[in-house]
Structure 1
Amino acid sequence: MKVIKSDGKVVEFDESKVRQSILRVGIDKHGVDDVLEKVKSRIKENMTTKEIFAIVYQELDRKDTCFACRYNLRDALLRLGPAGYKFEKYVASILRAYKYDAYNPEKELQGSCVGHEVDVVAERDGRRMFIEAKFRNDFKDYVNLKDTMATWSRFLDLVDGAAVGKCPHFDECWIVTNAAFSDRAKKFGMCKGIHMIGWNFPESAPFSQMVDNSALYPVTVIDHLRNNEIEALSRNDIMLCRELTEHDPDELTQKLGSDEVRAEQLIELCAKIVEGK
């Protein structure tokens, strides 16, 4: 059976890819088999991969909303847009969960030549990381060679600035994105020693795996989360479902400006998303 990818390319339907995408939400083997059979029964010739994604989401939602929310990760990242500042906060939250001391600087850091807006600064084991969070509103977009070279140039200017006491010293340069890197960007980054994390890169520990392995799902995986609630949570630095569960209903009600029933519902759902059950 032929299906149409997001770039318009027609390919053979790959059952193993769908199975793998279902497996990552934490459902057991019997559940995976059941969902996959129902999905296959609904797929038609020349369906788009986006339509297939929607079918998988619906079938997982019938099993348990928490599985559907976990599956919704990639679209949830888009809801951190259209500007990139929520993604920057989310990246900092993920790094804190991985035991980094991470924050989003409020002011420019002065390099040797000019000042630079820095998305995320992270520290661990005596090393400080300069991190650019490259948010993309379209998964077909790449972080390209020009982007990567510009990041490296900013890093070098900050290193030079630190040498003359203008800013803190940085030991490492990172780029984190919800999209992909072009081949030339990867080649340049690996040559310069840039730590690059994309949706499916590096193969050993991509961004998606960093999230799934430690259940660091953004609050936006909840598809009925309202825009004003997303903004309120962001203002209060609550970017992870895990962070939301750390609040009691009364406290969350105050921060959201909503009622306590809504706060209780969100806390309960986030707990299920984090636990995967």
Structure 2
Amino acid sequence: MKIVKHSGAVVNFNPDKLISSLLKSGADVFTAESIMKEISNEIYDGISTKNIYKKAFALLKKHTNSHAARYNLRAAIEMLGPEGFYFEKYIARLFEAEKYETKTNVVLQGNCVMHEVDILIKKNNVVSMVECKFHGGREAASDVKVPLYVFSRFNDLRHKGFTLFSTKEKISNCWIVTNTRFTADAIAFAECSGINLLSWDYPEKRSLKSRNNHDCLYPVTCLTTLTKAEKEKLLLLDIILVKELIGNKLGLKEIGISSGRINNVLKEVADLCKCY
């Protein structure tokens, strides 16, 4: 059976890959295999991976909302666009979870020109700049031009002193974060130049995907018990992470959620924040 990927590439359907993704969402083996069998009866030659995902998500949601929410993670991060403003806030929260101090959208005068830095982070007296590259489509990749450009900006800023978090400090480190992936050349240049990279699947053990599953740093956009409009209202209230809704009935009331629905939302929140 041939299926069509997001990129347009045609590949063989791999049942084991689908089962693996279902298991990673927290579903048990019986549930994953049951969903796999049901989907196998519905797919056809030339079906898109997007349609397979939709079918799997709908079936998973019937079993457990929190498992469906985890399965929906990549799409949920894409919902932090289209401009990427909330993606930057989300990334700042990830660093805060690792005990960094953070500042977002800071304008600094370099040796040559002014620069708007997406995020500044500080830990153990080391200050780093973080540049976020948000893509609306998951097949888009940040190529070598991105680290080349960011590295030149970093070099224009690194030798100057700024009052950033407390006393006068220098920016001595650089990160680039994207919600999709980096090309091989981008990774090679970054490693050679000492730039830290973070993407959906890189680095393997501390990627966006793995940080969510291990540290419960899910964005509120992954919740299945809220509408798109309700998620957008939470973002406007600066509620970015699911964790920030634990026991937060007031926040949910503020966006117009009824008392009956609040309990359902908080149950999904509690289940989703039981990390494994």
- TM-score for both structures, normalised by structure 2: 0.89
In terms of fraction of residues, the more strand-rich structure is: 2
Q: 1:126 to 1:51 in 2, by over 3 A?
A: same
Q: Does 1:190 align with 2:186?
A: no
Q: Is the 8 A contact 2:157 2:171 kept in 1?
A: yes
Q: Does 1:225 align with 2:231?
A: no
- TM-score for both structures, normalised by structure 1: 0.89
Structure 2, unmatched stretches of 5+, are none
- 1:168 corresponds in structure 2 to 169
Counterparts of 1:227 and 1:13, CA distance in 2: 31
Aligned residues: 274
Q: Higher mean Cα deviation, 35-44 or 116-125?
A: 35-44
Secondary structure, aligned partner of 2:273: helix
Q: CA deviation at 1:101?
A: 2.2
Q: CA deviation at 1:167?
A: 6.9
Q: Is the 8 A contact 1:158 1:167 kept in 2?
A: no
- 2:140 corresponds in structure 1 to 141
Q: 1:57 to 1:163 in 2, by over 3 A?
A: closer
Structure 1, unmatched stretches of 5+, are none
- 1:253 corresponds in structure 2 to 253
Q: Is the 8 A contact 1:161 1:167 kept in 2?
A: no
Q: CA deviation at 1:188?
A: 0.9
- 2:207 corresponds in structure 1 to 206
Q: Higher mean Cα deviation, 229-238 or 172-181?
A: 229-238
Aligned partner letter, 1:271? A
Counterparts of 2:35 and 2:155, CA distance in 1: 50
- 1:44 corresponds in structure 2 to 44
Counterparts of 2:214 and 2:263, CA distance in 1: 26
- 1:152 corresponds in structure 2 to 151
Q: Is the 8 A contact 1:60 1:68 kept in 2?
A: yes
Q: Is the 8 A contact 1:3 1:10 kept in 2?
A: yes
Q: 1:32 to 1:259 in 2, by over 3 A?
A: closer
Q: 1:163 to 1:270 in 2, by over 3 A?
A: closer
Q: Is the 8 A contact 2:214 2:275 kept in 1?
A: no
- 1:17 corresponds in structure 2 to 17
Query: How many percent of aligned residue pairs carry the same amino acid?
Result: 32
Q: CA deviation at 1:174?
A: 0.6
Counterparts of 2:103 and 2:37, CA distance in 1: 44
Counterparts of 2:5 and 2:233, CA distance in 1: 35
Q: CA deviation at 1:236?
A: 2.9
Counterparts of 1:77 and 1:251, CA distance in 2: 21
Counterparts of 1:13 and 1:257, CA distance in 2: 43
Aligned-pair Cα RMSD in Å: 2.5
